[in-house]
Structures are given as C-alpha cells and as structure tokens.
Structure 1
C-alpha cells in the first residue's frame, strides 16, 4: 500500500488567537503578514492558504511574494470568502440580482488569477451564502441553475488551477445549496470539468451525518479529491476542535483510505483555537496525524481485508483498538 506523506497546512485566522502570547497585546488585530510569521513558527507546517479577498488583498502583492520567497512556508492556494461583503448576504452565485451574481463570479476569477500568479495550485470554494432560510423563499430550480452556471464559469476560467467545492450543511444559511456529498457530486457531474473536485471537511461531514471515509469513497468514484480539512466536533455545529479529540476512530479510518488511494496533497487543519496557544495547537494536530499514520503502518493488511470481506464488526473493532494502542 502507498505511504501517506502529506503536506500540512493550517487555517491562517487560527493564528490570531491568544495575541498576548506572541505580540504581548490582546487588543490589536494582527496583520496578514503577522499571522504568516506566527504560522511559520509551527514545526512541521509547510503550507498555508490565504482567504480571498480578506488576507490576500490586505497586503501588497510584492510583500506577499517576498514573504513566501524568504519563508519555509509555501502557498497551497486560496480560500474564497464571500461573507465580508454584505452584498452577498442573499447569495453569491445564487443572488437574485444578476449584477451581484456577476460580481461574485468576477471576484472569484480574480482570486484564481492570483493563485496562478503566486504559484498556488487550487482555489477552494465554500459557497456558504448560497442557500435559503425559509419555505417559499427561493425557486429551487432557478437557484440550482445559477449555482451550476457560476461554478462552471469560474472553473473554466483557468484550466490549470484546480477548483474545489467544500460543502457544508448550513451556516450562515439555514440550508446550504451544496450541503452534503451527494448534492455536491451531482453538481460536479453536471458541470463536468476536469479541474473541478471536492474538499472534504471532517467536521462538515459530521454535521451532515456522514461517515467521512464513505464520503471519500464516493469522491474517488465520481470525482477527484483536491483537499482535506481535518478537525473534530460533536456533530451539531462546526466546532473546529483538535484532530482526533472526539472521533479518533473515524479519523483513523479516513487516514487509512487516504493512504490507500495514495493521497499526496495537503492536509489542512481547519480548527478554531480560542483559549489555546495556536502554535501548540497546530503542532499537536500535526503530531496526532503523524502518530495515526505511523500506527497504520502496523495494521495487518491481510487481516483487515478478511474482516472487511466478512463485514465482521467485532474483529474490526479489536483490530482498531490494537492499532490505537500504538498511538
């Protein structure tokens, strides 16, 4: 079986937590470059994603390029964020005003241009504003068509840049248009562009009441996996807790199948340290994933294959417990 040797990236805004530990101030909002400098202090962290337009446009492009040229960190890609513009509150690609939809598409295209200019590989789309809150609020057929058209236009903008859909059941809308793995794969299949794929966010999958490894299996069958966001939570909301803190078995299973498929792209820690030191929290996430990957090396492949063929849950749990004891 292939080895799992991913790059590690982290949510840049996580490094704004506990400013008193790094900048000796609890009041001043840190700049993008200050956040990048703090992220660079994490042992084992090799990549970062910038939110667009929030992070990426708050710093002169020359300064961003200079940072990455002198830093051990590399740019993985950009994360589209529409929430910073009140115009998108009713939707980005699905807003009832055609002018607002065009604005969202143009903003995303400019983000993709920046990914290419900075040497990144992927643009991640979290279309959290595209959804609805009430019955009789939207024409479902129409908003679906607008969503498909919007994603198609931005994905076709530069075929060399991967465009990935990160689905989430809700928040900020009561119902997201792309809220689960099945709906997301239907959209990708309808659009049918080779640079389009999926980002799996572990906590989002839990909120959608999905088994993360099963979601991965569907992505492998019907699309391509572009990104993985690891975190954890209690299924009712996007808690953004440390990796493996609540669902270690599901995390281990997901890593097993990532190893099986030969995944070599980035694992991104989408966690929300609040009272924790974000440098220590990120380092702990890296250590947890590395320990889980190391434990999988001791898993008996022939024995696991026999268990899966028989669908033998009892033997499967015994094997998992033996594996976890190696962590």
Structure 2
C-alpha cells in the first residue's frame, strides 16, 4: 500500500488525531481481512499531498506497532527514503528491528523529489550499503525497479537491463565486502576513512 492520498495540505484542514485514527483503522481492516496475506506499507514524505501521514520509516513503524498485526511490514523505495532525508541502510535496519521488510524498490534521485532515476546513478555507495544491510538482515524477497525511463525518452527495456546488470555488480561488491574482515573492524571503530578506502578498493580495484 502506498497511501499517497492520505495526508493534508493546509494548517487547520484536518483533525490530526481523527485522521490518524482513520488511517490505523483502515490499515487494520485491510490487514485483518486475510491473516495469510502480507500487507506492506510504502512511505513517502509528500506528493500528491503536501504532507503524508506515512512520511518516513519511524512514523510507518509506529503505525505498524499500533495496529499490532503480524502480517504487516514495510516496502522501502530508495528514492522515497532519500526524499525523507534518511540513510537507506539505517531505515532498513530499523525496519528489520521493529517489523519486517516485505519489498525493496531500487531507483535513485537527488533527494529533492521522487526522481525515479536508474539504480546507482547518484547514490552508488548508499545503494551498496542498503544491499549489504538487507542481506545481513535476511531479506530474501524480490527487488523491483521503480524508475521512470518514459519521463526522458529512455528505452525502458535497455534501462531495465542496465539496472539488472548494475545490481548484480553491486551484489558482487557486497560479496567481496562480506569476506573482508577489515570492513567490520573499521565499522566497529566507526573509522569512516578506513571503511571508505576498503569500499573503493572493492568497487574500483587496488590502487596499483
């Protein structure tokens, strides 16, 4: 569920407590209809409404906790997460801790709107970090591409092929990183300089 229309545009437009209660009741009714059907919530800060009721990971997880049904989870859309001013891997870690990840939409953007650019076009490192995080958290679901090739006249088939190839390359980088004990040591020390050097080496090869 992407609850894009659920929100408001003006101060004094809505009773926020009532609006939130309607949201909780509606999602609970949908999720309670068939306990064997998983229902995933995809958040986005705004658009088409000026303010969304599900704008970020924390608010979405709060709603899931309040509803309290086990078949609820979260879909992370990479561009939405950037738009919410979140670090994608951190959002994924929070979802894994407090709920479950049910879907991943890969794309990219400049974090000012939902650009729907090709995977890794802007935030390559953050995409690799997200792939590493969801792998460590045991995500085994599908990875979708929510991109907009038609907006700029790109060949959608070729764009999809390149996205698939890019993700496969990124997953090979993740494999190399997972076998490199230096990275876990650097992360334990929060040594960003060392971790960046290790990641660049895994991506681009050794210096010589």
Q: Tell me the TM-score normalised to structure 2 length.
A: 0.95
1:81 corresponding residue in structure 2: none
Q: In structure 1, what is the Cα distance between the partners aligned to 2:168 and 2:138? A: 16
Q: Does 1:293 align with 2:194?
A: no
Consecutive unaligned residues of structure 1, counting only runs of 5 or more, are 1-124
Secondary structure at the residue paired with 2:149? coil
Q: In structure 1, what is the Cα distance between the partners aligned to 2:165 and 2:77? A: 19
Deviation of residue 323 (structure 1)?
Answer: 1.6
Q: In structure 2, what is the Cα distance between the partners aligned to 1:156 and 1:216? A: 25
Alignment of 1:145-156 (within 5 A): 145-156=21-32
2:15 corresponding residue in structure 1: 139
1:277 corresponding residue in structure 2: 155
Per-residue CA shift, 1:17-43, capped at 9, x if unaligned? Answer: xxxxxxxxxxxxxxxxxxxxxxxxxxx
1:129 corresponding residue in structure 2: 5
Alignment of 1:295-310 (within 5 A): 295-299=173-177, 300-310=179-189
Which residue, out of 102, 111, 129, partners 1:253?
129
Highest relative contact order (Cα 8 Å, sep 6+), 1 or 2? 1
Secondary structure at the residue paired with 1:297? helix
Q: In structure 2, what is the Cα distance between the partners aligned to 1:239 and 1:249? A: 18
Q: Tell me the TM-score normalised to structure 1 length.
A: 0.61
Consecutive unaligned residues of structure 2, counting only runs of 5 or more, are none
Deviation of residue 262 (structure 1)?
Answer: 2.5
Question: CA RMSD of the aligned region, Å?
Answer: 0.8
Secondary structure at the residue paired with 1:255? helix
Aligned residues: 202
Q: In structure 1, what is the Cα distance between the partners aligned to 2:103 and 2:157? A: 22
Alignment of 1:52-63 (within 5 A): none
Per-residue CA shift, 1:243-298, capped at 9, x if unaligned? Answer: 00000000000011122122211001000002111000001111000001012222
Runs of 4+ residues deviating >3 angstroms: none
Q: In structure 2, what is the Cα distance between the partners aligned to 1:176 and 1:305? A: 37
Deviation of residue 135 (structure 1)?
Answer: 0.4
1:188 corresponding residue in structure 2: 64
Deviation of residue 308 (structure 1)?
Answer: 1.0
Secondary structure at the residue paired with 1:228? strand
Q: In structure 2, what is the Cα distance between the partners aligned to 1:158 and 1:281? A: 37
Which residue, out of 47, 50, 59, partners 1:171?
47
Secondary structure at the residue paired with 2:102? strand
Deviation of residue 301 (structure 1)?
Answer: 3.6
Per-residue CA shift, 1:181-234, capped at 9, x if unaligned? Answer: 110000000001010000000000000000000000100110000000000000
